[in-house]
Amino acid sequence: MAHNRKLPIALASIVGALLVIYVGGGIFFQNHMLPGTTVIGTEVGGQTVAAAHNKLTKNYSNDQYQLVENGTVKAKASSKQLGLKQDFTTALNRVKSSQNAWSWPAHLVGSGNAHGSVASLSKSQLNAYVDNVSSKLNTNRTAPQNASLVFENGALREKKEVNGNSIDPTKLSTALTKAIADNQKQVNLQTTYAKPTVKTSSTSFMKQKDTLQKMTNLDAKVKVANHTITISKQQLADWLTYTNGKVTVSEKGLTAFVAGLNKKYATYQAVRDFKSTKRGTVKVSGGTYGWSINQTAEVKDLANAIAAGKSFTKDAITQGSGYHKNGQDIGGSYVEVDLANQHEYVYKDGKQVLNSAIVSGKPDGHSTPKGVYYVWSKEQNTYLKGKNSNGSSYSSHVNYWMPIDYTGVGLHDAPWQPTFGGTWYQQHGSHGCVNNPPAFMPKLFAAVSVGTPVIVF
């Protein structure tokens, strides 16, 4: 009977001890992770949230992210290189709040798991790494090629897009950011390849092909004075290209074309055949009179006209003086200065209306410059100033002044000259101007308007 009384006491003692352990464990696990708890693969059972956070931070501070291609690691990036900072507090608190501290005995043979963390990235560090590694990885790699359209032997041909294996930095940055967010340690580089942006199968490509074909069949013409120049289909084909999804007109080709037109037709600084009054047809070059094509403006205007995709006939954009759509340059109204004969003639609409003997520049370095000029201003009662051959200054009053170039040469009265014509100019010539008799100059001034050509030869 005594033996039977001791057994209940022993059992009660064991139960009591287990109860103490259970209660003690329950109290302990109020502030600690249950046994067997793992967070992102790390054992944190029996630890407070703070201690578990420190352990996870230490474990993941030197994370390595691998850039893999066809099973081979091509590059690595540490958390530090990427400017990555992990915050595991959210995941740990979620695990802790889901645990029942009084169920700790059951966890001695089980486990609780949690995944994820809050990661912050330094964009500047990430971009710096991506730019650097992309540059290195792209050495000897093939960049993608967009589909294009080219003219071969006058026919429009498609060139299909080509896939490459160069790394797109933007795609790599996105892939790394996603891997970090998903707690993945590898990035497949093949998913970061740059891709062609223009493909032959796209609707836009086919539309542009149709547009390009139509543009080569434009009836395109440029009018320069009394000449009409037709742009050939071959020229259009040479100038038109399709690059990166856009039809473009070659500025280089147009520049050469317009330069050719200017060289052929422009009159500024050109050599002209001039039918003189006494010496027959003479060649005259130089001077300030004449026109040229404004090549910069014309190239732009022509490119816009072609790009519009409609047939056109346009006038060339010109600059300077003397441009006439009928092809005339000097025309029928002009002043002729014959230096050899020391004579001046005024023509209006092809008819001579005035003429006079003159005194031109003295041939001691002051000869009157030859060329085709024009009257660009008219003044009365003014002073002409300059330097004499001996270096002294002069200031001469004139009643009429008509400058023809930009160095001080012009037509004016010269009351100081006792005679005009002949060989007087050889010893008594001007400083370059065309001296006119005082009685003749008022007639010349009245008959000649601003813009009138002056041919000096």
Report the alpha-carbon distance of residue 453 to residue 152 in Å, rounded.
50
User: In this structure, are residues 402 and 375 in contact, taking their beta carbons and an 8 Å threshold?
Assistant: yes
Distance in angstroms (rounded) separating the CA atoms of residues 379 and 72: 88
Check if the beta carbon of residue 200 is closer than 8 Å to that of residue 147: yes
Considering Cα of 350, then 356, then 357, then 360, what sign does the dihedral take? negative
Closest among 204, 207, 234, 212 to 309, alpha carbons compared? 212
C-alpha separations of 420 from 57, 404, 423, 429, 442 in Å: 107, 20, 9, 10, 16
Instruction: Return d(Cα 316, Cα 318) in angstroms, integer.
Output: 6
Helix 295-307 with 251-265: angle, nearest 10 deg: 130
Residue 376: other Cβ atoms inside 10 A = 18
Q: What's the token pair of residue 247?
A: 């039809």
User: Backbone phi, then psi, for 381, in 5-degree steps?
Assistant: 55, 70
Which residues are tagged catalytic?
412, 433
In 3D, which of 213, 308, 305, 323 has the Cα closest to residue 266?
323
Vertex 92 angle, CA 89 and 93, to 5°: 85
CA distance 328 to 50: 96
Q: How far apart are alpha carbons 212 and 422 in whole angstroms?
A: 68
C-alpha distances in Å from residue 292, one per residue of 263, 266, 320, 321, 368: 9, 5, 6, 9, 25
